[in-house]
Amino acid sequence: MRRAVKQLWRHRRGNTLAVVLGALLIAVLYALGALSENHALADAAATAMQVTAVVPAGLTLVMLLLLAFTVTFQFYLERALWQRRRQEFGVARLLGLSANRLGGRLVLEALVRQAVTLVLGLSLGVVVSKLIAMAMVRLMGLHVTTGLLWSPLTMLELSVTLMVVAALQGLLDALAVRGRDLTPWLRPLPVTALPTRRGGRWRGLLGAGLMIAGWVVMLGWRPLLSRLPQQNRQWGGLGLLVVILSAWLIGTYWVIRDGLPLWLTALQRRHQGRWLISTTMTLTTIASRLRAHAHSLWLTTILASVTMTVLGSASMVYGVATAEMNRAVVAPVVVTAQTKRSVLAALPQAPTRELTTKLVVGRLTGGAASHLGLYQVMAASDYLRLRRGQPSLPALQLTGRQAMVITTRIGQVQRHFGERHRPHVIALARGPQVQVAQVTNQFPLGQDVFFDRGLVVTDAAFAQVVGTTDRLWGLYPAATAATRRAVNRLARGDAQLSFVANTAAVRAGRQLPRLATVAGGRTWSRAAAAYRAPVRAAGQTLFGFGLFLALLAGTVVVVATASILLLKLVIAADGSQAELAVLQQLGLPATSARRITWQTVGGVFALPLVIGVADAVVTLVTLHSQVAEPSGGLAAVVITVYIVVFLGFAWMTGRLIDQLSLVGRAGPED
């Protein structure tokens, strides 16, 4: 035990990083676990969303994902630290330490380090749980206060899992030092074996081809998909996606492992004897880093791509969804004559906006279509008056007998009113025949309290329509806690509906549609009152929760992947800083030496970033073209933040390596 602690201390530079990063990951894991077990939060979220268990389930899912990620991350770190001590292990065995004993020590070391990491991480977790909870509550628009979260169960779960992981890791290390042949252990790490020239070049080229092909296919996604026969589209699309992804994964790996190192080396060979040593060193060092760390660079690149894509699309979806919701949800409360009195009693001071419609049956004809529906007809002047408070409603350009149809079924709209068909006409049962000049999916005051379709006609035409008067009122109560309670209470009450009997007499226009509070026979129906504030809150809670999870996971992934890169480069720098020291002894100016360090770090960090950004942009552009009303602003911001964080890590790496060149040579440690 004492020996294990001593060994950990001897290699403290790498171990500190491992412990600190591990502790950060554990802290986030703990916070997620504790949050998922917090009843107050779950209840508040469930009330707001009107669905139970979404929050605990989502948190647990993300926690499991992050746990898997943490295990991978620790595995990588452990390997890196272990690699660095190869020679030490070789010498120890050469001098007679048995493989079993050495293995035992490695297991013990791994356990001790994990224990330290857990103690640190869990303590930190208790502290940050409050901050993370606050961020979540904020994004979800909930009104709950949380203190420090205390969850012994989560602590136990995490401790057991991660100690088992550490033991397994130690065992792997122990197994790896068992080899009979000691010679490879005693040599310093082999200087990066260069790829075999011919095979490598082909793999590199093929890899680049695959990557580019992946991007091209992704960008041409829609036209490509529409070539497929209708019934094969779903599976075909899925298959295509799988093919693109695999091609891209393999291609990226080949480019990183074979292509780039070879091209850099070839470039440098071509300029042999013409370049300054600083250029040569930068290129060869980057090439050798790519080659030596192809695996983790590949993983980092994939994670960077995935993270940026997920973050970008999550924020894009968040933007689209919120905009969509705000469009659908106009007045916080909408009532009909049926519910007006009781609702006004609960919200006496709410200002109102009124819309008068006439209910009438009409037959739509045009093309091959013929469809009988119940229309809520309104006058253009009324529509325009409401539009002033609801600017997303489209402008009107109606003359004479022209009309605008309002319907949510956009697909139907596009099919029925496509330009290929001759003009559509609606024959109202008792009123004029109008011509469809415009179509929209946006209802004045919001869509729920409409039966089926709305129809905007000129004031003159409206005067000629004979129908059942149906008035709607939008209520805009002041946003106070009392209102919120009152609205929530109303919303939770029995949903009241209004009906119109769909009888032969009504359809034929012999009878006016009659509003009723009970269903009988075939009917059209609608809500008699719509409470939009709770819906809006639920939406905000749900979307906010999604965004929260995406942002949290994204942050953790970016920090962890960038740290793996940092650690690998810092470890590799032990060697390269010694080489830079030699160059300085030969007369290389210190500034040039520093420039080599920074350019190397920059080059290695740039690789996953550039490929990742390219992937994310390609995917987001494709996604962008699929959504009706795209908003890329938030996605751009999120991706920019990602890039900044990543570059921050590059900067830290450069700093660490720079300091290494001053400190590293003095100490007897290495």
Partner 1 sequence: MRMVSVNHLTKIYGHRFNRVAALTDLSFAVDAGEFVGIMGPSGAGKSTLLNILATIDQPTTGTVTVNGTAIGALSDSATAKFRREQLGFIFQDFNLIGDLTVADNITTPLTLVPPVPANLASRLAAVAKLLHLTALLQRYPAELSRGQQQRVAAARALIAEPSLILADEPTGSLDSLAASELLGYLTQINLQEDRTILMVTHDAYTASYCNRIIFIKDGTFFAEVTRNGSRARFHQQIIDMAATLSGGIAHAPRR
* CB 262, min distance to partner 1, A: 15
User: If binding means CB under 8 A, how many residues of this protein chain bind partner 1?
Assistant: 29
Cβ proximity to partner 1: between 425 and 583 the closer is 583
Cβ proximity to partner 1: between 275 and 651 the closer is 275
Contact 200, 291 (CB under 8 A): no
Q: Is 597 in the site for partner 1 (CB under 8 A)?
A: no
Cβ proximity to partner 1: between 271 and 421 the closer is 271
- Encoded one letter per residue, x for contact with partner 1 by CB under 8 A and - for no contact, window 566-585 reads ---------xx--x--xxxx
Cβ proximity to partner 1: between 315 and 600 the closer is 600
What is the CB-side half-sphere exposure of residue 87 using CA atoms within 13 A? 6
Q: Is 139 in the site for partner 1 (CB under 8 A)?
A: no
- Single-letter code of the amino acid located at 481: A
Tokens read off for 53: 């268990």
Contact 298, 278 (CB under 8 A): no
Q: Is 83 in the site for partner 1 (CB under 8 A)?
A: no
Alpha helices, DSSP H only, in 141-191? 152-176, 183-186
* CB 288, min distance to partner 1, A: 5
SS3 (DSSP) at 403: strand
Q: Is the dihedral of CA 456, 457, 458, 462 positive or negative?
A: negative
Cβ proximity to partner 1: between 49 and 264 the closer is 264
Tell which positions 452-511 bind partner 1, by CB under 8 A. Answer: none
Per-residue H/E/C for 600-631? HHHHHHHHHHHHHHHHHHHHHHHHHHHCCCCC
Cβ proximity to partner 1: between 588 and 617 the closer is 588
Determine which residue in the list 1, 518, 586, 662 makes contact with partner 1, applying CB under 8 A. Answer: 586
Q: Is 275 in the site for partner 1 (CB under 8 A)?
A: yes
Tell which positions 190-249 bind partner 1, by CB under 8 A. Answer: 190-192, 194
Determine which residue in the list 96, 152, 229, 587 makes contact with partner 1, applying CB under 8 A. Answer: 587
Report d(CA 304, CA 104) in Å as an integer. 37
Contact 244, 214 (CB under 8 A): yes
SS3 (DSSP) at 165: helix
Q: Is the dihedral of CA 267, 272, 276, 280 positive or negative?
A: positive
Task: Give CB contacts under 8 A, 24+ apart, made by 279-283.
Answer: 281/579, 281/580, 281/583, 281/596, 282/595, 282/596, 282/599, 282/600, 282/603
Determine which residue in the list 220, 418, 589, 648 makes contact with partner 1, applying CB under 8 A. Answer: 589
Q: Is 590 in the site for partner 1 (CB under 8 A)?
A: yes
Cβ proximity to partner 1: between 495 and 582 the closer is 582
* CB 270, min distance to partner 1, A: 13
* CB 282, min distance to partner 1, A: 10
* CB 599, min distance to partner 1, A: 14
Cβ proximity to partner 1: between 190 and 391 the closer is 190
Determine which residue in the list 160, 276, 410, 460 makes contact with partner 1, applying CB under 8 A. Answer: 276
Binding segment toward partner 1, per CB under 8 A, in 279-287, 368-376, 388-396, 421-429: 279-287
Cβ proximity to partner 1: between 192 and 365 the closer is 192
Residue 655 vs residues 296, 452, 644: alpha-carbon distances, Å: 21, 65, 16
Tokens read off for 31: 């916070």
Alpha helices, DSSP H only, in 187-293? 197-219, 221-227, 233-254, 260-270, 277-292
Tokens read off for 505: 């007499």
Binding segment toward partner 1, per CB under 8 A, in 40-48, 189-197, 239-247, 643-651: 189-197
| DSSP secondary structure string for all residues of 443-509 | -TT-STT-SSEEEEE-HHHHHH---EEEEEEEE-----HHHHHHHHHHHHSPPPEEEEE--HHHHHT
- Encoded one letter per residue, x for contact with partner 1 by CB under 8 A and - for no contact, window 287-306 reads -x------------------
Residue 451 CA to its chain's centroid (Å): 37
Determine which residue in the list 47, 50, 83, 280 makes contact with partner 1, applying CB under 8 A. Answer: 280
Cβ proximity to partner 1: between 185 and 476 the closer is 185
Contact positions vs partner 1 (CB under 8 A): 190-192, 194, 272-278, 280-281, 284-285, 288, 575-576, 579, 582-590, 592
